[in-house]
């Protein structure tokens, strides 16, 4: 049995290096499926006889395996690696060197934590019964890299993972603690594109046109009744139109207007209801304005559902490795989406929230920078979870 004091000693020893690793990743943010420099850096940092690295499944992913000294189960630990198309405004010495891109969601911190965890577990590998799968996944923010990686057979790799865990830095959770709760904690996120088709004409002669701008404006407001009047008020759901495009001149009624947005919900059964009601609402509005429409509705991210047994284990592990203040019950559900959901469709597991502080710049903002004070807690949490799972 590995003593927590020994693990804490290793973590404290490597922590200065982990901080520098985090800063180095922060300088080179890359968006979905462009994470080539990032992936190359991860491979260099993991290059060790004790970590077997696989060829990439998606070009920019990095998958490694730490084998223990004796046979046993396999646990998967995952970090996302992509950045956001945001112009950073932190003013930090390690700020982004890639214009228009920034690690504004903390994935630089997640990568550094998983590399630190790998450092710890590699040192302890001789005493482990089983193995640890390390997954550095691209395209979490866009394009659902998790779906793609699972679709490429990640969860069927031998030895097969029997559980999966991940962390995400979270504003509002105290530094030094993690939080988690069972059930659906993050929403499904589907995308839709609506094309409202009318008949263009002169702005001075609207009666000779079929104005898709007016129709599209009414569609935006009418779509809000899908949630407010067709879904149980006790069942969370949100439908947002986030982009409108139509017309090229101030005095010309266009032929068409395009609307794009997302639908989010926690229950899988909601997808069919929302899709059907959208068709009904859009058709009615367009018919009243002499327009027609096309609706492209694409299922995106599944709801992220934490498994109760994994959450219970995480709580016990936090108590053991982080101490009495290491577990926070601050874990409200969010309508944000997370493609770690697709891992949890395959095996039991959970995504934990890692405390970044109760007063901190919000995720996805230009002023966000991962809190280095949370790195130690993250490494202890993931290493502790792996050690506890393999010792069962």
pLDDT mean values, one per 10 residues, the chain (392 residues): 86 98 98 98 97 97 97 98 98 98 98 98 96 98 94 98 98 97 97 98 98 98 97 96 97 98 96 98 98 97 97 96 93 96 98 94 97 98 98 92
Residues 100 and 59 in one domain: yes
pLDDT of residue 238: 97
pLDDT of residue 359: 84
Which of the following is catalytic: 140, 141, 339, 369? 140
Beta bridge partners of 328: 179
- 268 tagged catalytic: no
Residues 218 and 326 in one domain: no
pLDDT of residue 2: 79
**Cis? peptide before 319, omega within 30° of 0:** no
> Which residues does 318 contact at the CB level (< 8 Å), separation at least 6?
177, 178, 326, 327, 381, 384
pLDDT of residue 350: 98
pTM: 0.94
pLDDT of residue 4: 83
Beta bridge partners of 293: 196
Q: Whole-angstrom Cα distance, residue 21 to residue 25?
A: 6
Beta bridge partners of 138: none
Residue 228 lies in domain: 188-301
Cβ-count burial of 175 within 10 angstroms (0-12 exposed, 13-18 middle, 19+ buried)?
middle
The upper half-sphere exposure of residue 240, i.e. CA atoms within 13 Å in the direction of its Cβ, equals 11
Question: How many C-beta atoms surround the C-beta of residue 176 within 10 A?
Answer: 18
Residue 199 gets which letter from DSSP?
B
Residues 192 and 273 in one domain: yes
Residues 177 and 29 in one domain: yes
Yes or no: say if 140 and 57 are a contact pair by the CB < 8 Å rule: no
> What's CA 377's distance to the chain center, in Å?
20
Residues 70 and 91 in one domain: yes
- 276 tagged catalytic: no
> Which residues does 22 contact at the CB level (< 8 Å), separation at least 6?
108, 109, 111, 112, 370, 372, 375
pLDDT of residue 3: 79
Residues 129 and 15 in one domain: yes
Of the residues 271, 301, 331, the one at which a domain ends:
301
Cα distances (Å, whole numbers) of residue 375 to 21, 48, 195, 263, 299: 11, 22, 46, 34, 34
Residues 60 and 159 in one domain: yes
Q: Helix, strand, or coil here: 235?
A: coil
Of the residues 274, 301, 328, the one at which a domain ends:
301
Residues 37 and 95 in one domain: yes
Q: Whole-angstrom Cα distance, residue 375 to residue 110?
A: 8
Of the residues 262, 277, 301, the one at which a domain ends:
301
What CATH number does the domain containing 250 carry?
Answer: 3.30.70.360
Determine if residue 102 is left, alpha or beta; phi over 0 gives left, psi from -120 to 50 gives alpha, anything else beta: beta
Which of the following is catalytic: 61, 82, 108, 141? 82
Residues 289 and 326 in one domain: no
- The count of structural domains within the chain is 2
């Amino acid at each position: 049995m590995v003593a927590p004091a020994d693990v804490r000693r290793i973590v404290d020893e490597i922590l200065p290096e982990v901080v520098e690793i985090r800063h180095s990743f922060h300088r080179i943010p890359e968006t979905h499926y462009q994470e080539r420099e990032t992936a190359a850096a991860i491979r260099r940092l993991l290059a060790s006889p004790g970590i077997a690295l696989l060829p990439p499944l998606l070009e920019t992913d990095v998958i490694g395996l730490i084998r223990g000294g004796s046979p046993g189960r396999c646990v998967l630990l995952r970090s996302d690696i992509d950045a956001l198309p945001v112009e950073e405004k932190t003013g930090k010495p390690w700020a982004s060197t890639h214009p228009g891109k920034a690690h504004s969601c903390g994935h630089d911190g997640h990568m550094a934590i998983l590399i630190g965890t790998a450092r710890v577990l590699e040192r302890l590998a001789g005493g482990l019964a089983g193995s640890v799968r390390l997954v550095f996944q691209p395209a979490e923010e866009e394009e659902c890299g998790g779906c793609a990686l699972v679709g490429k057979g990640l969860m069927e790799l031998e030895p097969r993972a029997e559980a999966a865990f991940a962390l995400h830095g979270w504003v509002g959770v105290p530094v030094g603690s993690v939080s988690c709760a069972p059930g659906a904690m993050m929403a499904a996120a589907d995308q839709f594109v609506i094309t409202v088709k009318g008949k263009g004409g002169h702005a001075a002669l609207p009666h000779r046109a079929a104005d898709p701008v007016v129709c599209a404006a009414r569609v935006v407001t009418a779509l809000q009744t899908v949630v407010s009047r067709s879904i149980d008020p006790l069942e969370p759901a949100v439908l947002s139109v986030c982009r409108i495009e139509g017309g090229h001149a101030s005095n010309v009624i266009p032929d068409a207007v395009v609307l794009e947005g997302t639908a989010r919900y926690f229950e899988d059964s909601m997808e069919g209801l929302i899709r059907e009601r959208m068709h009904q609402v859009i058709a009615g509005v367009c018919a009243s304005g002499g327009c027609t429409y096309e609706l492209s509705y694409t299922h995106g991210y599944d709801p992220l559902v934490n498994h109760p047994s994994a959450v219970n284990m995480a709580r016990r592990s936090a108590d053991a490795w982080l101490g009495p203040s290491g577990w926070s019950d601050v874990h409200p559900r969010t309508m944000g989406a997370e493609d770690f959901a697709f891992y949890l469709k395959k095996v039991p597991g959970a995504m934990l929230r890692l405390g970044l502080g109760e007063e901190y710049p919000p995720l996805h903002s230009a002023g966000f920078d991962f809190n280095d004070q949370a790195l130690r807690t993250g490494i202890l949490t993931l290493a502790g979870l792996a050690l506890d799972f393999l010792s069962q």
